[in-house]
Structure 1
Amino acid sequence: MHTPSDSGGFMTSSTTVSQPGVRVRIQQFGTKLSNMVMPVIGAFIAWGFITALFIENGPFPNETIAALVGPTITYLLPVLIGFMGGYNVYNIRGGVVGAMATMGVIVGSEVPMFIGAMIMGPLTAWGMKKLDHLWGDSIPSGFEMLVNNFSAGIFSGAMAIIGLLAIGPVVAAFSSVMAAGVQFLVDNSLLPLTSILIEPAKILFLNNAINHGIITPLGTEQALVDGKSVLFMLEANPGPGLGILLAWMLFGRKESTARTSAPGAALIHFFGGIHEIYFPYVLMQPLLVVACIAGGMTGVFLNVLLGVGLRAPAAPGSIIAVLIQTPDKIPALIAVFGAAAVALIVAAPIVRATRSDALGEATAKMEDLKGKESAVAGVLTGTAAQSTKPIERIVFACDAGMGSSAMGASVLRKLVQNSGHSEVEVTNKAISELTDTYDVVVVHQDLADRASPLVPSATIVTVDNFMNSPRYGEVVEMVNRSNAQDEDTSGLTEPAPSSEIREEADTISALAKLVSEDLTVLHGSATDQHDAIEQV
């Protein structure tokens, strides 16, 4: 498999796939957790609203409505998570047996059993799937429904008993240890140190494992007791990302892609809650992770100091979702903007000292002067590719299939339709839901290793910036070429001679050299462009 270039680009999947590394395995684990929790976030939010409004200390106390609070968090939410965990493994059948088995760990514990549900749901569904395969071909004709129903009932019932007697108490003890650890950090004013782990994990797309595996279960338990939890703000605070994007807006090199795209990215990040959009701005200068950590620690410190907490998870991590879920709106804003200010201050000198890739700048400048995209720009930046078949289906894939992939698919869909290719379907999916039925797969370069084995016959387009429209423009050009060849091969314009391509390549290379740092002349004596060229 070809490795995507640093600047984002194209690669064609291959059947030869290396074993995933630790980072990829953690991403996959986090995605599995996310796929169990994110589809039922609406139920968490509903529980948060009911708790905030109708409990005894709420603004509209109502004993009848408040009776929903306990059963919802104790039974409904864990069962929904268990169902989704089973569904992701073995469809509806897996969801049903997973939900039943989850009841065992719920009854076997006195705390909300979210972690237990994340174990019992997929584990029971996996066992059911293996059993069905074991005797699937030996069931007498006409007895399929009888065997399927009774096998599901017996097996899920047995797993519920195992959950009640064995797994539930173990998970409850584990949850108690984690809760004690969090309380220790809070009591000793050490909670801000969690940003040292959380902020880099977010940049590497490892946040789902932390957020849905630890923060959401513990935060929900805390909110059940106190009515709110500061833990929900550890990962959801949009302040650090806003500070990073503001640094690029104010101190990035003029006319650079990072600086010009940062305002739009900031709006999407802060109000839309899609945090992934600022990750590429950190990845292009890894030192900026220090700014993320500093901003994150500041936000946590202010949240603890001011007593800020959320009633339920803020998903997505938008300032709008945060303000809706917190009763402490002014303190929450202080914490968010405080985190952004510190991240901006730390990031400013790093961004100011960062120089963009000279070849990338030269290519973009050449295409701007030319008035259209270069046919060889992809070759020079390691992004050239061409589909060998007509393109009918394009999918934009991200970790959870909801945030950045939806945004990217919307952009691509408009570009493809505007180019006259209404026959091309553009959708978005979670990486875990990809199947080998797509012609082109667009994915962030850090997630390409996970996508490739799932789509061996597709052309994979890797991007390092969700706002980087030239990447999307190259996809449209590929659609134009591939589909035009299929529709009317005889009417195509002859490809440019190799000498013309070489000449254009030489032009780009020359421009790259002119803007490279080593050949930049400061305080020169040239007064016009000809003297400047001679002086260089």
Structure 2
Amino acid sequence: MATETVAKPRTSVRVGVQKFGTFLSGMIMPNIGAFIAWGLITALFIEKGWFPVAELGGFGTNAEGEPNGGIVGPMVTYLLPILIAYTGGRMVYDVRGGVVGAIATMGVIAGTDSPMFIGAMIMGPLGGWTMKQIDRLWDGKIRPGFEMLVNNFSAGIWGAALALGGFYGLSWVVQRFTEGAGAVVGFLVNNGLLPLTSIFIEPAKVLFLNNAINHGVLTPLGIQQSLDQGKSILFLLEANPGPGFGILLAYMFFGRGAAKASAPGAAVIHFLGGIHEIYFPYVLMKPILILAAIGGGMTGIATLAITNSGLVAPAAPGSIIAVLAQTSRDSYVGVILAVVLATAVSFLIASLILRTSKNKGEDDLSAATSRMEAMKGKKSSVSSALVGDESAAGRGEGTVLTRPVRNIVFACDAGMGSSAMGASVLRNKIKAAGFPDVKVTNSAIANLSDTYDVVVTHQDLTERAQPRTSSAVHYSVDNFMNSPKYDEIVELVRTSNDAEAGGAAVAESTTPETTAGARPAAAATPAAPGTSHGAHAAEPATAVEGKGVLLAESVKLNGSAQDRDSAIDEAGQLLLDRDAVDVSYVHAMHEREESVSTYMGSFLAIPHGTNDAKDHIKHSAVSIVRYPEGIDWGGKQVKFVVGVAGLNNEHLHILSSIAKIFTNKAQVARLEEATTVEEVLELFGKVNA
């Protein structure tokens, strides 16, 4: 029952549409700078622009009587769709997926005369996903030395195949869809029905469902319309700041309590900053205010239609500054009037509602903000402007989590050593607490994305990780093996999941009596080859072409080093002797140590190379050196040094075993007392089977 209760909200239609819209937005938003550049060039240099230049705007003919190419056309035909496709492919399968997605999109672009934004949003992720599935077919089966050859040719061959498919098939389908959608919009415009779209758009904004409509339909159609007519009304159907601004003004004059006090600041953020979600909690406090947003939206759209006004490119974010910057030369009066009238109508309706109702908008703004963030599915970037940071006290690094914890990532510089160890330790703790479905992975900081609920980093790396994962709860640790923060994270997992399930069912399932029997016999296994950035799989990683990850020859019971740097050299030499790395990787191990310590706690350090040094790894290997008397490691005593070099996450199984041992004092004692290499290998388990 607890599992069903937790899972149901995540499979709702609304959440599905949100995720789809968020994915579309994830392809568009990183490239908004390119859209703005294209919009500015279009507004300035096309034939109807402020400073028409034939060579730039692409109108007129050259001395030979041929049409001027310009840069407006190529930017919207090639640059923008390829950027979108690359971003979408990379979201699915990192850079490799992005490259294949961009190649595939060229086929769709070449197959039609229209800008292929919809085609790019299909082919980009499709190229990344299919390439990922193909790579899995021969993952771990390629002979050493042939990886680059296979990877490059497989990407090239499959990218070419997708490009041909796009040219002969998908381009025609997308063209027909674009024409059909354009016909629908034309029908609405010609019959004066376009303002009615506000009935759907304004509620969709508050429910965070607008991205699918805006980025999936309005932006592609608007760009096509802008190319044909020099402007488009579609860019302002959703981006007009007037409706939200009117509601906030009404709260400024007629609201009460925290809502009235915070409305002026929210109005500035909304109108000038363009962050529309700042006004959503004010609507959620009094849902009937959605009528004010609808009325203002309809008024703005009607004004644009009557004055034949529009923008030359998307206005993102929806700030009045962005709106005016993208306004067509002949549309300033109409656009400004649309914003002013939308604000006025929204203000009048909202004021009437607030003045005539017993509740003057004095409900708990913090609770409304939490409901808004729950619908959004992550922390709002502007919520602190409404409720301050009090509610965040004691929660990680000050971030409020408004959803159950589902995925946790440990991040370090390279994503293959300390983060893998920490992930293994916490994974076992969370499973023991009765939450086996919570995913605990590891990643390099460079590969992080804002898709995690909790991010754990070494205290020296937190500032690097936070900008990439701003909506997550951040925990900084100085010890990956036995940090007290792990208990805090386990408690966060428990409370967040209990809250969603209503508390009782989950609380019952996490008592010591039930978890003890349900705890898996085997430790959680880390990522198998081919999964990205440490995502754990059901089976342990295996050796590559007979090369074991940990062999007896890579274990030393009595190291000769006297200090940290020489210990790194000693562990690195064992990796060199295995021909697992080249000497540059050992240099990178020292570089990594200088930036962030690899001391893990429990007398353990795991030196490894930087993220950039992965090219110097020939095959996965682990070395172990014991120092019975201990050596100084940046002020900490270390008796065990584990050198790590990992490809495709094959080393993570042994790191999981190491993590289990070093979180158990009795096991550490056995390791200290071991007299043979075989005893050490037996403790770490069979990792080469």
- C-alpha separation in 1, matches of 2:271 and 2:15: 27
- Report whether the alignment pairs 1:437 with 2:440: no
- Displacement of 1:259 in angstroms is 1.3
Rounded to whole Å, the distance in 2 between the matches of 1:140 and 1:427 is: 46
User: Which runs of structure 2 are paired with 1:77-156 in the superposition (5 Å)?
Assistant: 77-156=80-159
Counterpart Cα distance in 1 of 2:153 and 2:317: 41
1:399: how far off?
5.8
Correspondences of 1:497-508 after superposition (within 5 Å): none
1:407 to 382, 385, 395: 382
How far, CA to CA, are the matches of 2:35 and 2:181 in structure 1? 21
What code does the residue aligned with 1:89 have? V
Question: Contact between 1:295 and 1:342, CA under 8 Å: does it hold in 2?
Answer: yes
Shift of the 240–285 alpha-carbon distance from structure 1 to 2, 3 Å rule, reads same
Q: In 2, are the aligned partners of 1:15 and 1:456 still within 8 Å (CA)?
A: no
Paired residues of 2:285 and 2:364 also in contact (CA < 8 A): no
Equivalent of 2:359, from 341, 355, 359? 355
**Greater mean alpha carbon deviation, residues 329-338 or residues 100-109:** 329-338
Aligned to 2:26: 35
Matched with 2:650 is none
- Paired residue for 1:54? 45
Aligned to 1:290: 291
Aligned partner of 2:36: which letter? I
Contact 2:354–2:361 (8 Å) recurs in 1 = no
Q: In 1, are the aligned partners of 2:207 and 2:375 still within 8 Å (CA)?
A: no
Q: Which residue of 2 aligns with 1:176?
A: 179
Shift of 1:350: 1.9
- The residue aligned with 2:191 is 188
Identity %: 53
1:239–1:296 CA contact under 8 A, matched in 2? yes
The residue number in structure 2 matching 1:44 is 35
Q: Is 1:22 aligned to residue 13 of structure 2?
A: yes
Structure 2 CA distance for aligned equivalents of residues 164 and 68 of structure 1: 23
Cα separation, 2, equivalents of 1:283 and 1:413 = 18
Instruction: Give, as a single letter, the amino acid of the residue that structure 2 aligns with 1:114.
Output: F
For 1:165, which of 162, 165, 168 is the aligned residue?
Answer: 168
1:373-417 Cα deviation digits (max 9, x unpaired):
xxxxx9xx9x9xxxxxxxxxxxx999699xx84435799998899
- In structure 1, distance between residues paired with 2:377 and 2:31: 13
In structure 2, what residue type is equivalent to 1:179? G
- 5+ long unaligned stretches in structure 1: 3-12, 365-377, 384-395, 440-451, 460-474, 477-484, 488-536
Structure 1 residues 172 and 405: CA distance shift in structure 2, 3 A: same
Q: How does 1:407-426 map to 2 (within 5 A)?
A: 407-408=382-383
CA contact (8 A) 1:35 1:400 kept: no
The aligned runs of 1:372-391 (5 Å cut-off) are: none
Would the aligned equivalents of 1:409 and 1:427 in 2 still touch at CA under 8 Å? no
Say which structure, 1 or 2, has more relative contact order (CA 8 Å, 6+ apart). 1
Q: Tell me, in whole angstroms, the C-alpha distance in 2 between the residues paired with 1:339 and 1:358.
A: 25
Name the residue aligned to 1:391. Answer: none
What are the equivalent positions in structure 2 for 1:265-280 lying under 5 Å apart?
A: 265-280=266-281
Partner of 1:259: 260
Q: TM-score, normalised by structure 2?
A: 0.53
User: Structure 1 residue 198 and structure 2 residue 188: aligned?
Assistant: no
CA apart distance, 1:97? 0.3
Q: CA deviation at 1:304?
A: 0.9
Among residues 313, 332, 335, which one is paired with 1:332 in the alignment?
335
Query: How many aligned positions are there?
Result: 404
**Amino acid corresponding to residue 174 of structure 1 in structure 2:** F
d(CA) in 1 for partners of 2:185, 2:112: 20
Aligned to 1:237: 240
Name the SS of the counterpart of 2:139 in structure 1: helix
| TM-score after normalising by structure 1 | 0.68
Deviation of 1:62 after TM superposition, in Å, equals: 1.8
Evaluate the alpha carbon distance shift between residue 457 and residue 183 of structure 1 in structure 2; reply closer, same or farther with a 3 A threshold.
closer
For the residues of structure 2 that align with 1:346 and 1:289, how far apart are their CA atoms? 10
The whole-number CA distance in structure 2 between the counterparts of 1:43 and 1:158 is 28
Q: In the aligned structure 1, how far is the partner of 2:238 from the partner of 2:220?
A: 14
The structure having more radius of gyration, on CA atoms, is: 2
Instruction: Report the alpha carbon displacement of residue 331 of structure 1 after superposing the two structures with TM.
Output: 2.3
After the TM superposition, which of the residue ranges 326-335 and 63-72 deviates more from structure 2? 326-335
> 2: distance between equivalents of 1:53 and 1:455?
41
How far has the Cα of 1:287 moved from its partner? 1.0
Change (3 A) 1:54 1:299: same
Measured in 1, the distance between the counterparts of 2:168 and 2:320 equals: 43
State which of 51, 56, 59 in structure 2 corresponds to 1:65: 56
1:29: Cα distance to partner? 0.2
Counterpart CA distance in 2 for 1:412 and 1:438 is 29
Report the Cα distance in structure 2 between the residues aligned to 1:82 and 1:329, rounded to whole angstroms.
33
- Equivalents in 2 of 1:408, 1:240: separation in Å? 20
> Contact conserved, 2:297 with 2:342, CA < 8 A, in 1?
yes
**Distance of 1:118 and 1:428 partners within structure 2:** 32
- The equivalent of 2:253 in structure 1 is 250
Report the AA paired with residue 355 of structure 1. Answer: N
- Report SS of the residue matched to 1:139: coil
Secondary structure in 2 matching 1:140: coil
Distance in 1 (CA, whole Å) between partners of 2:362 and 2:240 is: 34
1:533 aligns to what? none
Which piece of structure 1 moves more, 14-23 or 205-214?
14-23
In structure 1, C-alpha distance between the alignment counterparts of 2:221 and 2:354, rounded to whole Å: 36
Q: Deviations over 1:409-448 (max 9, x none)?
A: 799998899x9x9x9756899x9xx951389xxxxxxxxx
- Counterparts of 1:464-475 in structure 2, within 5 Å, are none
Q: d(CA) in 1 for partners of 2:252 and 2:151?
A: 60
Query: Partner letter of residue 299 of structure 1?
Result: G
How far apart, in 2, do the equivalents of 1:133 and 1:205 lie? 35
- 3-state SS of paired residue (1:437): strand
1:441-492: per-residue Cα shift (whole Å, max 9, x none)? xxxxxxxxxxx98767789xxxxxxxxxxxxxxx99xxxxxxxx979xxxxx
Cα contact 1:291–1:344 (8 A) shared by 2: yes
CA contact (8 A) 1:31 1:400 kept: no
- Secondary structure, counterpart of 2:140 in structure 1: helix
Which residue of 1 is the match for residue 228 of structure 2? 225
- Partner AA of 1:186 in structure 2: V
Distance 1:350 1:105, change over 3 A: same
Where do 1:206-225 residues align within 5 Å? 206-225=209-228
Paired residue type of 1:54? F
Report deviation, 1:112.
Answer: 0.5
- Answer with 167-176 or 14-23: which moved more: 14-23
Q: Distance in 1 between matches of 2:216 and 2:344?
A: 30
Tell me the CA shift for residue 111 of structure 1.
Answer: 0.8
- Give the 3 Å change call, closer, same or farther, for CA 36–457 of structure 1 in structure 2: closer
* Mapped contact 2:233–2:311 kept (Cα < 8 A): yes
- Aligned pair in 2 of structure 1 residues 413, 103: CA closer, same or farther (>3 Å)? farther
**Which range moves more in the overlay, 138-147 or 112-121?**
138-147
What residue in structure 1 maps to residue 566 of structure 2?
A: none
Contact 1:291–1:342 under 8 Å retained in 2: yes
**In 2: Cα distance, 1:406 partner to 1:456 partner:** 15
Equivalent-residue separation in structure 2 for 1:123 and 1:50 (angstroms) = 31
User: What is the distance in 2 between the residues matched to 1:346 and 1:34?
Assistant: 31
Contact 2:232 2:311 in 1 (8 A): yes
Helix, strand or coil for the counterpart of 2:286?
coil
Q: Deviations over 1:15-71 (max 9, x none)?
A: 953342000000000000000011111111111111111123322222222200111
